[in-house]
Amino acid sequence: MNMPEQELIPLSSKELWKSRLNELPHHFGHTWEHCQSMFLSTGYPTYLYAFRLNDVLVLCPVCERSFGGYIDIVTPYGFNGFISNSDCQAFSGHWSAFAKERGYVCGYIGLNPLVNADLGFSSLEMKHYNDIFTLDLTKPTQTLINAMDENRKRQLRQLDKIRGSLTTEKDLLIPFFIKNFETFMKEKSAAGAYHFSASSLQWMAEMDNVMMTGLVENEKVEAASIFGYTSYAADFLFNISSEKGREASFALIWMAIEKLTSMNIPVLNLGGGVTPADSLSMFKKRFGGEVRPLRSLQQVFNEGIFQQLCKDNGVNISGSAYFPPYRQVKI
């Protein structure tokens, strides 16, 4: 039986990370640049996990987190997860063995809804917790327009009225984005995962594979949206706006759609809501894109330690929707 090669490529090995990643179609969340930006907030040791068995290659960025003297793993914020050039039923077993050898207690792996490789994981380990919406940018523009609801079509007809106030100039938009990000997220009661440092936001916004669209009126920025992309797909990351700029949300996304289409990016992931069917989710749904399930892989590698950590922190495992449950107490 052939044994796989498995390795963890650290952020310090930038060129090796990029070399491995260039072997597979990948997304913004897999890139070294994005994972470096997240590291600037979390400080978690971050790696590109690489698995190779014969002609099969599987990659996934992971972060190691310490809790109570033990280590668990999580994917960095964003749409990343496992990517592969082939289905491989045997992979799940090799992955679990690797995780146990590393001494991990458990793992929370966000799965990319645009990746469909079957890697042998049990449906019991995969949790469907939300939905996202994607737009196929290879379709003719009129087809995209026809799929939108009437309110979006109305906003598109009115776009020319504000087009002169729209910009993609990062030098104008980045200071507004960074200055207002924290306050805007607090107003939206965003989860702790959205609490990024100014250095993370600066790094992210300045990346070559990040595009920004914004609204400027009377020489004042009122809204900014940010999109990360590779040649395979783009992700709508954030929209930050003043009260005055909130009505421009559609225009900023449509402007990005025009730019991404001109760059031959095939798909735009609009993301979803904070919770299923909330107002943000409905806003994105009205673009008429495809609905895709958002799943996570939740695995326990050391049941004894997992149970003990939950017990020590007064967590009822069966009653917790959070994973791992013991991190509800200390994050």
What three-state secondary structure class fits 224? Answer: strand
Q: Is residue 82 part of a domain?
A: yes
pLDDT at 149 over 80: yes
Q: Is residue 127 part of a domain?
A: no
| pTM recorded for the entire structure | 0.93
Determine the pLDDT at residue 2: 78
pLDDT at 303 over 80: yes
pLDDT at 125 over 90: yes
pLDDT at 331 over 50: no
> Are residue 305 and residue 238 in the same domain, yes or no?
no
Determine the pLDDT at residue 1: 55
> Are residue 140 and residue 286 in the same domain, yes or no?
yes
pLDDT band at residue 159 using 50, 70 and 90 as cut-offs: very high
Determine the pLDDT at residue 45: 98
What average pLDDT does this structure show over 174-202? 85
> Are residue 86 and residue 175 in the same domain, yes or no?
no
In tens, the pLDDT along 288-301 reads: 999 999 999 999 99
> Are residue 225 and residue 192 in the same domain, yes or no?
yes
In tens, the pLDDT along 165-175 reads: 999 999 999 99
Q: Can you give the CATH number for the domain in which 143 is found?
A: 3.40.630.30
What average pLDDT does this structure show over 260-271? 97
Structural domain that includes position 229: 132-292
What average pLDDT does this structure show over 209-227? 96
State how many domains the chain has.
2
Q: Is residue 258 part of a domain?
A: yes
Lowest-pLDDT range of 59-63, 228-232, 292-296, 314-318: 314-318
> Are residue 104 and residue 207 in the same domain, yes or no?
no
> Are residue 62 and residue 116 in the same domain, yes or no?
yes
CB 279 within 8 A of CB 112: no
> Are residue 145 and residue 248 in the same domain, yes or no?
yes
Name the average pLDDT for the chain.
94
Planar angle of CA 12, 15, 20, nearest 5 degrees: 110
Query: Which residue, among 3, 19, 199, 186, has the nearest Cα to 93 in the 3D structure?
Result: 3
For the chain, give the longest Cα–Cα distance: 68
Q: Please identify which residue in the block is written with the tokens 């063995």.
A: 97
Separation CA 187–CA 145 (nearest Å): 32
Determine the pLDDT at residue 330: 46
Q: Is residue 274 part of a domain?
A: yes
Query: Which residue, among 245, 238, 186, has the nearest Cα to 212 in the 3D structure?
Result: 238
Determine the pLDDT at residue 316: 81
pLDDT at 275 over 90: no
What three-state secondary structure class fits 31? Answer: coil
What average pLDDT does this structure show over 122-145? 95
pLDDT at 329 over 60: no
Q: Which residues of 70-109 are buried (b: 16+ CB within 10 A; e: fewer)?
A: bbbbbbbbbbbbbbbeeebeebbebbbebbeeeebbbbbb
> Are residue 196 and residue 320 in the same domain, yes or no?
no
CB 232 within 8 A of CB 266: yes
pLDDT at 47 over 70: yes
Separation CA 259–CA 214 (nearest Å): 13
